Amino acid sequence: MLNEKDLAQLEKVGIEAKEIENQLNRFATGFPYLKIEAVATAEKGIKVLSKEDEQKYVDAWNNFKGTIEKFVPASGAASRMFKNLFAFASSGRNTPETDFENQFFAGIMNFAFYPTLNRVCSKLYGEDIHSLMKLDRHVDVVKALLMPEGMNYGALPKALLQFHKIAPMVVHTPLEEHLEEGAQYARDEQGKVNLHFTVSPEHRKEFEKLLKAKLPIMEAVWGVTYNVTMSEQKASTNTIAVNTDNTPYRDAEGEFLFRPAGHGALIENLNERTADVIFVKNIDNVVPSKLRNITTRYKKVIAGCLVATQQRIAEYLRLLDSKKFTPEALKEMLAFVEDVLCTKNKATDGMGDEELAAYLFAKLNRPIRVCGMVRNEGEPGGGPYLAYDEDGGYSPQILEAAQIDENDPDAVALMKSGTHFNPVDLVCYINDYKGRKFNLKDFVDYNTGLISLKSKDGVEIKALELPGLWNGSMSKWNTIFVEVPAETFNPVKTVNDLLRKQHQ
């Protein structure tokens, strides 16, 4: 039961009481595991392109005439990137002992942020980094990097960290690398580059400050005009936290606790974009310009595959709309849905022409995404699958390992046989065949969220994550998986990843 204070709190954050009821019911019932037809592989579900096909798609992208935008989720703090260093700073030790700590200090001069950190150490302690290390004051170096009195890297978003040394006196943040990438594969015919970053409100001014300083330089170097916009994750997408008995958690003042609902909440932000083609890429998956040729080429490859697919789908939809289709045309469309979009439903076997036409129209008239997939080099888990839909058919889906029933031996065996994983390398077409924007929220599978255990002030609580942006939030999109080289995937999950050759 909600009291007046509860209702006032809900009104303040923009969440309806009915939505809270739905969330509490979801905690009680949980989310169903997905039924899997197969792991997507090169033999079934993932396109492996020839060099000729790659070039055909690059040419298709270079000839594209529509509107383009690059969408980059960039609101998360970098605190997890420094998890090991935070542990060292609070360990009571001054001398590095773990492999991670030793690697960090051995390679400290190779970080792009080293000159800035050196100046900060001198200012804070009157000693440079090497003097502090000789004095066994390694923790002071870490504090200068992470703490508010120093560089505050433990609280800043990854977008604003110094990632790459470009020249003796030039370093780039991920924000700048994404600006350059946009100029290389996402400019329109007029030389305009649209980029959209999702940011947290407390860091928005720092984004604006960096953009004000860098955009004129980037525009001069790349010969483009940038249009950079930003949005924040909406408070109305936060979800209520509950106790382990599924009753709402309340703080000392008796108020509900709301938590960010994961990257799935960003479907709201993506839904407000209006470009025909939108690239989606994580903020930390960037390399310096000297190593970016492969990234640029395969972004054009998957974008060309997208627009070529969209043009064919639009032709089919116009024919279906006209009611002038023939049985042979319906057969061709069904083959396209099954062989190219890898979407199958046994129910089509018994359908007459009119019923089949309605089925095909419903399947084809959806947002489209082409997803780059990288060969697995580690332990298989979340990635590309062919999973069953609520209508009894199956289609390509990107699943998290938590969505697969670990108590089902067949499902586990399928997961372990996976050959590829999802590097979050997407390009999307979000307008229909008449040029009208889809309402992306109509294509979310709300049965694909996650429940996780967290803690609050020493109390164990349960949190609800919305269907992930490239998982359940795009379940009902038309999806094509394309194999791309591992060189296109260079994430920075820990600070020591910046010491890898791809980031030097």
Question: Could you tell me the domains of the chain?
Answer: 34-78+161-489 (3.90.550), 79-155 (no CATH)
- CA dist list (Å): 400 to 72, 124, 152, 283, 375: 20, 44, 32, 20, 16
Average pLDDT over residues 411-434: 91
Per-residue model confidence (pLDDT) at position 1 = 74
Per-residue model confidence (pLDDT) at position 416 = 84
Closest CA to 496 of 136, 145, 144, 155: 145
Reported as a single tens digit per residue, the pLDDT across 302-313 is 999 999 999 999
Residues 415 and 401 sit within 8 Å (Cβ to Cβ): yes
Which residues does 433 contact at the CB level (< 8 Å), separation at least 6?
A: 313, 314, 317, 318, 365
Structure tokens that stand for 47 in this block? 């396109």
At residue 248, the 3 state secondary structure works out as strand
Q: Rounded distance, CA 407 to CA 270, Å?
A: 35
- Percentage of the residues of the chain whose pLDDT score is greater than 90: 86
Residues 314 and 434 sit within 8 Å (Cβ to Cβ): no
Reported as a single tens digit per residue, the pLDDT across 21-73 is 999 999 999 999 888 999 999 989 999 999 999 999 999 999 999 999 999 99
What residue type is 333 in one-letter code? M
Average pLDDT over residues 415-439: 93
Confidence of residue 402 (pLDDT cuts 50, 70, 90): confident
Q: Helices marked H in 346-444 — which ranges?
A: 353-364, 409-416
Per-residue model confidence (pLDDT) at position 380 = 57
Average pLDDT over residues 453-459: 88
Per-residue model confidence (pLDDT) at position 400 = 86
Q: Rounded distance, CA 62 to CA 166, Å?
A: 28
Q: Rounded distance, CA 233 to CA 260, Å?
A: 8
Per-residue model confidence (pLDDT) at position 456 = 87
Say if residue 379's pLDDT is above 70.
no
Pairing status of strand 68-73 against strand 192-199: parallel
Q: Rounded distance, CA 94 to CA 136, Å?
A: 6
Residues 450 and 315 sit within 8 Å (Cβ to Cβ): no
Residues 42 and 48 sit within 8 Å (Cβ to Cβ): yes
Closest CA to 158 of 315, 324, 282, 37: 282
Pairing status of strand 277-281 against strand 68-73: parallel
Confidence of residue 417 (pLDDT cuts 50, 70, 90): confident
Say if residue 179's pLDDT is above 70.
yes
